[in-house]
Amino acid sequence: MSPLRLATGVACAAALLVPTAASAAPTLAPAKAPGATTASGNPGYHEKGMADPLVFAHRGASGYRPEHTLAAYDLAVQQSADYIEPDLVMTKDGVLVDRHEPEIGGTTDVAEHPEFADRRTTKTLDGTQVTGWFVDDFTLAELKTLRAKERLGAMRPGSASYDGRFEVPTFEEVLAQREELSRSTGRVVGIIPEIKHSTYLHAEGFDPEAEVVRLAKKYHLNHPKAPIWVQSFELTALKDLRVAHGYRGRSTFLTTVKGGPYDLREEGTTYAELTTAASMEDLSLWIDGFGPEKNAVIARNADGTLGEPTSFVRDAHAAGLKVTPWTFRAENTFLPTDYRSGADPAAHGRMADEVTRFYEIGVDGVFCDQPDICVEARTDFLAGS
């Protein structure tokens, strides 16, 4: 394996999989830590053994409001979501902001701003040529002149009716909102940010991990019992958090059924290799959980129907790791074929029944575009169990 990007300049990719004597030293802050009360009032992510599954508002209540807006997070908490999820990219002046990707043509009205027409460009994002407008070409002040829009407008006209109303929030604004929502609701609202495309951001001259930890410290979240989990599809980013920047919260390694982490592309390492039972045990030194694509937890049959559970949950739990699959969406087009209702791809099908299947096999949480449906399904599941 080739060297990984670490502030120390000495760690290698193998250290992510096979802990050495040095990597096990207390100064490297291994992930294991005692529990804390969660937003829903149940132990959830934070204790050993079975617990009520948590509901994570995927990009906020993104089935009802444009994703990654303060309005989407506010609605999610009103719907009793336990955690809100901001995706993090960086502006030209180094501010963490909340967008799903560095390219913002699909989630803002930037194309309607003639003053930014010359910012449209093509960049390589994790090995793929992408054309559009990129957050890292805008200062925060410039970005604040834009307004969010629904990415799936044809599929979600109700959400699209809110286009043009909301700013792009900074990560700090979302952290402040989390504090206020916790005060106003009388419960601890958690936050589970995802560092997007860390390798790309570092190539552009940024250090998102350092800024995430700085803000976690500022908002008193840099400790093992804090209601924060940091996510990434790249292992290097998660290790950098702890080794280079002293992160003491919890972390989730996101995975897909196909492909592999971009930071380990030179080795050809796949997510499948990193989610074997043996690899899960090795990775448990550095992470606290997995956020797998949901088909890795319950496979789909060839005809698109929901199949049988894999060993993912059992293997992860044996390694002391939590499992929080993504993404549950109510629209027919996103559901297994046997959970759809009617022929309209935008109509809501039987998402509650689908997510209940995942509750039944012991997942620790679920990422939902419509948090209210997942919360209601959880209530019904617990009442019947």
pLDDT digits (tens, 9 = 90+) for 303-312: 999 999 999 9
pLDDT value of residue 385 = 75
From the list 323, 228, 283, the residue with the least C-alpha distance to 30 is: 283
Which neighbouring-strand residues pair with 231?
Answer: 194, 252
Residue 221 has phi, psi (to 5 degrees) of -115, 5
Mean pLDDT of 335-364: 98
State the number of CA atoms in the 13 A half-sphere of 140 facing the CB: 13
pLDDT at 37 over 60: no
pLDDT digits (tens, 9 = 90+) for 119-155: 999 999 999 999 999 999 999 999 999 999 999 999 9
pLDDT digits (tens, 9 = 90+) for 49-84: 457 999 999 999 999 999 999 999 999 999 999 999
Of 27 and 192, more confident: 192
pLDDT digits (tens, 9 = 90+) for 149-168: 999 999 999 999 999 999 99
pLDDT value of residue 11 = 38
Whether the CB-CB separation of 371 and 76 falls below 8 Å is answered with yes
Measure the CA–CA gap between 378 and 282, rounded to whole angstroms.
32
Query: In the sheet where 250-255 sits, what is the strand order?
Result: 96-98, 87-90, 194-195, 229-232, 250-255, 289-292, 322-323
For 26-79, give the DSSP string: GGG--S-------TTSS-GGGSSS--PPEEEETTTTTTTS-SSSHHHHHHHHHT
pLDDT at 46 over 90: no
Our measurement of the distance from residue 119's CA atom to the centroid of its chain's CA atoms, rounded to an integer in Å, reads 28
From the list 199, 249, 285, the residue with the least C-alpha distance to 4 is: 199
> Worst-scoring range by mean pLDDT, 6-15, 201-210, 242-251?
6-15
Mean pLDDT of 343-354: 98
Residue 310 one-letter amino acid:
T
pLDDT at 7 over 90: no
pLDDT at 18 over 50: no
C-beta atoms surrounding 18 within 10 Å:
11
Question: Tokens 């952290």 belong to which residue?
Answer: 175
From the list 120, 101, 100, the residue with the least C-alpha distance to 110 is: 120
pLDDT at 35 over 50: no
In 51-74, which positions are buried (b, 16+ CB within 10 angstroms) versus exposed (e)? bbbbbbbbbbbbbbbbbbbbbbbb
Provide, rounded to the nearest whole percent, the portion of the chain with pLDDT above 90: 86
Output the CA–CA distances (angstroms, integers) from residue 100 to 132, 193, 333, 347, in the order listed: 14, 11, 21, 24
